[in-house]
A and B are shown apart, each in its own frame.
Chain A
Amino acid sequence: MREMSCRLLVIGAGPGGYVCAIRAGQLGVDTIVVDPEPPGGTCLNVGCIPSKALIHAADEFHRIARLAAAPAMGIAATGATIDLAATTAWKDGIVSKLTGGVAGLLRKAGARLVAGEARLRDGKTAVVSTPEGPVMIHAELLVIATGSEPVELPSLPFGGRVISSNDALALTGLPESLAVVGGGYIGLELGTAFAKLGSRVTVIEAAPRILPQYDAELTRPVMQRLAALGVRVLTGARAGGMSATGALRVALADGAEDIVAEKVLVTVGRRPRGAGAGIAELRLEMDGPFLKIDDRCRTSMRGVHAIGDVTGEPMLAHRAMAQGAMVAEIAAGKPRAWDHRAIPAVCFTDPEIVSAGLSPEEAQRQGVEVVTGLFPFSASGRAMTSGREDGFVRVTARKDSGEVLGIHAVGAGVSELAAGFALALEMGAGLEDVAGTIHAHPTRGEALHEAGLRAMGRALHI
């Protein structure tokens, strides 16, 4: 068997793993990163990037289709059509450009990428099945960055008409009808996109409301928009199996219903890949289904780090990237620890939701007295000129000091505001700091300024 050795071995070239390898390479750490798929992991291949491509295409299509149905702003359009196979090909082009880019970045940083399925033999050795045969890799330090995968329901195994988010992003024909099991952000992002493309979409959510991790104030504009798009949302509903006639059985609070759908998209969550690849044999301490880590991403075994989705919620690419960069610097001997104040999260529904820091309820649960300031986009000139006045920006701050604890927003295009929200929180901004920053006019970002002013009772435009 061919053998290789390195100082740092990263299992998984997703956003956590590849960033870890790039940073380690930059710091002169001899690094190998292993992945059977093109680098980029779920994010680039079957997650963030392809879903945003599909969502964008759906938005463009929907806009034209709507103008065709009802002219607005003096614009009338005729007959938008979509060739989903061509859309998917466009998306695949973006994906391969990005994965190729990551491979180039790894090369430039001096990290080696080995394509193949890795199996850990112990905390310092992995055997990788490459197309050229097995390779044994010895390392001083190991980083487990194996990510996560869609959860399958026992009653609705993937295959045939039952599809995962990965499959939904690779469809070449538009389903006439789509049942989405699970009203979390993945199901709603994709369900909304297919609704805009023309599918008849039903969302089945077991919780009393969709996006249960967000507060009701934030999800209300999304609910309203789903209704406007004709998406049927069943809450407090449980999907069973498929009936004899091929319909999806759904148990409701007051009865049952069979939902006929061409495709059934199951998005009930993601499961960490924390056992395969020989990880289970390392007998690492677990935190539920996740690998337990400390503030330096160390597992219970010396010299074995873990980053990304395999280490727990929130399963977000940018969390994994930050962990990866930190572990690389630790491997290079620098004193680092996880001390971030906020991991912003974006939900690319329509309208989009951004959360950074604590919600008012979360702060109150911690026993902190808060003030909030909410500025609705209905009072924003920029929102009016872009034809989307739904949503708002809400600032949550300590009542005693004005220290900003959280910033949340819902509205069209608010995902781009996430950077400012996170920066304010990391810098330890107070309401006065938000109020004392000149926000460019006319932008949606002004809503943050006004929300900060309003929390101090000094709003100017409302």
Chain B
Amino acid sequence: MGVHSIRMPDIGEGIAEAEIAEWLVSPGQMVREDEPLAAVMTDKATVEIPSPVAGKVLWLAGEPGDILAVGAELIRLEVEGDGNLAPGAAEETEPEPQPQARPPAAPPPPRPAPAAALRPEGERPVAPPSVRRRAREAGVDLRQVRGSGPFGRITQDDLSAFIASGGVAAAPGPRPDTSVEEIRVIGLRRKISENMARAATIPHITIVEEVDASAVEDLRARMNADSRGEKLTPLAFIARALVRALREQPMLNAHHLPDDGLVRRFGAVHLGIATQTPGGLMVPVLRHAEALTLRETAAEIARLAQAARDGGARREELTGSTVTITSLGPLGAIATTPILNAPEVAIVGVNRMAVRPHWNGSAFEPRRMMNLSCSFDHRVIDGWDAAVFVQRLRQLLETPALIFMEG
């Protein structure tokens, strides 16, 4: 028997450290070759680390949320034959003074689904008095808790798991809730937090403009009516308009790097699409939007959004954007103040589309109106340039033929 040590691999160019997002094994567990051991997270991508050998998990390097340097020891396995760790070397390189005393990283708590239905009326749940009291104080109706004991007896652990899974409060009606829960800001949420903190140091200028989307919506409906393939969304048109407008104002398709004292302007339009995923906000990147047709744009946006939501987006699909669109769709409000996706210098926020009365000079007519809320890095973009850009976007969307005109 030997000990095989697995180190944090180099998972991407220029990545010096990665965060343990989740342990997929626990100490004592047998793993096969190629079985995933852990999910680790870099800038925004989560990568599973497969096991190079078969063996039994001896030791894990930390808790989810811990950050390990590339090359740091990640996990130790007990393997047949000699391992790659010399006997005795284990003690020397042991990062923890007493690995045996260390509690094993807890596997994610089992989450028993709430019982499909309450126990029959009159049938009392079986639980010892200590569990009953704790349930009452936590506002949990024990009839909804599945007991793991014989004849469904509810243990303290069952109640803890139920509460952890967001158990259902018992009595209807308001009751004081004195609970305080500490949620570690780890993984994607920590990345978002860091990015937002960085963006907050940027002086933003935000311009909100009203756009009459009736023409582009008519066009979209016509194109979808004789549709082949992917349905066109308003976002695809906005993306095309944005690419067109950037062609005229390339300074807005850039990264501002104040530490280096430069603005890096890009020929390529790598369009970040802010996307809500179960884990939080992600920004998959539509690469080379300048080289795509309308239908290709629509198809690629749909694919990327799905990949981001499924967690299947590759690392290169989540990095390298040069400008970003953020849209909350029907939730899009009247106006928003988009936060820049640093180090970019422009972000286009798309607000909700609604039919509103419009004065055409002689009468009110119903028009499909939509606001655009756009923010810019005011250190390098003046208000004038920002306003010109937003007006151009509006013009393109109100007269969509202009988007597709040559030249």
Chain A: residues with CB nearer than 8 A to chain B? 334-337, 339-341, 398, 401-403, 426-428, 430, 432-433
Contact = CB atoms under 8 A, between A and B. Distances in A.
Given A403-B151, A432-B150, A335 B128 contact: no
Nearest to B150: A430
B68 interface: no
A433 B127 CA distance: 14
B129 interface: yes
A163 to B, nearest CB: 41
Contacts of A430: 150-151, 153
29 contacts: A334-B137, A335-B136, A335-B137, A335-B139, A335-B175, A336-B133, A337-B136, A339-B129, A339-B132, A339-B136, A340-B129, A341-B124, A398-B151, A401-B150, A401-B151, A402-B150, A403-B126, A403-B151, A426-B128, A426-B129, A427-B128, A427-B129, A428-B126, A428-B153, A430-B150, A430-B151, A430-B153, A432-B150, A433-B150
* Most chain B CB within a 10 A radius of its CB, from A335, A336, A398, A428: A428
A343 to B, nearest CB: 13
A336 B129 contact: no
Nearest to A335: B136
Contacts of B129: 339-340, 426-427
A335 B136 CA distance: 6
Contacts of A339: 129, 132, 136
A72 B124 CA distance: 51
A107 B223 CA distance: 87
Contacts of B136: 335-337, 339
Interface in B319-365: none
B149 A428 contact: yes
A430 B126 CA distance: 11
Contacts of A341: 124
Q: Closest 9 CB pairs between A and B?
A: A401-B151, A428-B126, A427-B128, A403-B151, A428-B153, A430-B150, A335-B136, A339-B132, A426-B129
Given A402-B150, A402-B151, A403-B151, A428 B127 contact: yes
Nearest to B142: A339
Main secondary structure of the interface of A (DSSP, over half): loop
Contacts of B128: 426-428
Contacts of B126: 403, 428
Interface of B: 124, 126-129, 132-133, 136-137, 139, 149-151, 153, 175
A81 to B, nearest CB: 49
Nearest to B151: A401
Contacts of A427: 128-129
B114 to A, nearest CB: 20
Contacts of B133: 336
A335 B137 CA distance: 6
Nearest to A403: B151
B71 to A, nearest CB: 52
B136 to A, nearest CB: 5
A329 to B, nearest CB: 10
A75 B91 CA distance: 74
A211 B132 CA distance: 34
A167 B151 CA distance: 50
A428 B139 CA distance: 21
A80 B149 CA distance: 56
A336 B151 CA distance: 25
A403 B128 CA distance: 13
Nearest to A397: B151
A322 to B, nearest CB: 11
A455 to B, nearest CB: 14
A312 to B, nearest CB: 19
A23 B175 CA distance: 24
A224 B175 CA distance: 56
Contacts of B139: 335
Nearest to A398: B151
Contacts of A433: 150
Contacts of A426: 128-129
A433 B136 CA distance: 26
A427 B150 CA distance: 12
A162 B175 CA distance: 55
A77 to B, nearest CB: 47
Nearest to A426: B129
A433 to B, nearest CB: 8
Given A402-B151, A428-B126, 4 more contacts: A335-B136, A335-B139, A403-B150, A426-B128
Contacts of B132: 339
A426 B149 CA distance: 15
Nearest to A341: B124
Contacts of A337: 136
A428 B175 CA distance: 29
B106 to A, nearest CB: 27
A134 B359 CA distance: 84
A144 B175 CA distance: 26
A461 to B, nearest CB: 25
A371 to B, nearest CB: 13
B141 to A, nearest CB: 11
From A335, A337, A432, residue with most partner B Cβ within 10 Å: A335
B123 to A, nearest CB: 10
Contacts of B137: 334-335
Nearest to A368: B123
Contacts of A335: 136-137, 139, 175
A433 B137 CA distance: 28
A187 B15 CA distance: 87
Contacts of B149: 428
A401 B151 CA distance: 6
Nearest to B130: A427
A334 B176 CA distance: 11
A400 to B, nearest CB: 8
A212 to B, nearest CB: 26
Contacts of B150: 401-403, 430, 432-433
A47 B136 CA distance: 35
Contacts of A403: 126, 150-151, 153
Contacts of A336: 133, 136
Contacts of B153: 403, 428, 430
Contacts of A432: 150
Interface centre among B127, B132, B151 (most CB of A within 10 A): B151
A403 B147 CA distance: 13
